[in-house]
Amino acid sequence: MTNSAKHSLSQRISALRSLYKNWRVPTVTEIAEETEDPFQVLVSTVISARTKDETTEQASRRLFKLAPDPRKMLTLKTREIERAIFPAGFYRTKARHILALCRTLVEKFGGRVPDTIEELVTLAGVGRKTANLVVTLAFGKPGICVDTHVHRISNRWGLVKTKSPAETEKALRKSLPRKYWITYNDLLVAFGQNLCRPLSPHCSRCPIEDSCAKVGVASAR
């Protein structure tokens, strides 16, 4: 990344931070700030996959009222977890994953959530996206969580040229200044939900429109 590109990126991040104050905090971030509980961050992140924020919030809160820690979660039946997290996407699969990861947490990690990506991805239903989000939100450790928003917008900006979130994570680890790693996901998720939409983004209202490469943008508002 050139010096001019770095300067442009710093301006974009600064602009997004100003906008972020007016947007709703992503649900998993909100849970992390409220509870400071790695377990609830982990489980709510699992629930959030392919699920709207509002549904994730309601499902997570229902479930944590029943079982706020892995040992209590293991006292529940799969059907009870399914009912609690419905209508989250793939709620039946997620219920099985939640029970399985809780069993691993208790049997292998003494009931604690590990704080490394390498250990987290050994848990049922946990991929690199979830693992990165947990280490950043729950432990304040550097990580780059790449979901569809981060993948799309990073490519749209011309910051990376990748075909998948996994490739985007690798590329960003090489090019994105480390000081932005922890906040990058939150900023781009909120930005993607509110302005930089997948189809017909609100470019006319975007404060960083003039520095965006608009890669793949066929039409805009």
Residue 147 bears catalytic tag: yes
Give the span between the Cα atoms of 147 and 155, in whole angstroms.
12
As a 3-state breakdown, the chain gives helix, strand, coil percent values, each rounded to 5, of 65, 0, 35
Q: Which of 21, 147, 161, 170 is catalytic?
A: 147
H/E segment holding residue 132: helix 128-139
- Give the CB-side neighbour count of residue 196, counting CA atoms within 13 A: 29
Q: Which of 48, 53, 63, 2 is nearest to 145 (CA)?
A: 48
Query: What tokens appear for 194 in the block?
Result: 């509110």
* Active-site residue identified among 65, 129, 179, 210: 129
Q: How far is 124 from 136, CA to CA, in rounded Å?
A: 19
d(CA 173, CA 85): 33
CB atoms closer than 10 angstroms to residue 128: 18
Closest CA to 39 of 122, 114, 147: 114
Active-site positions read: 129, 147
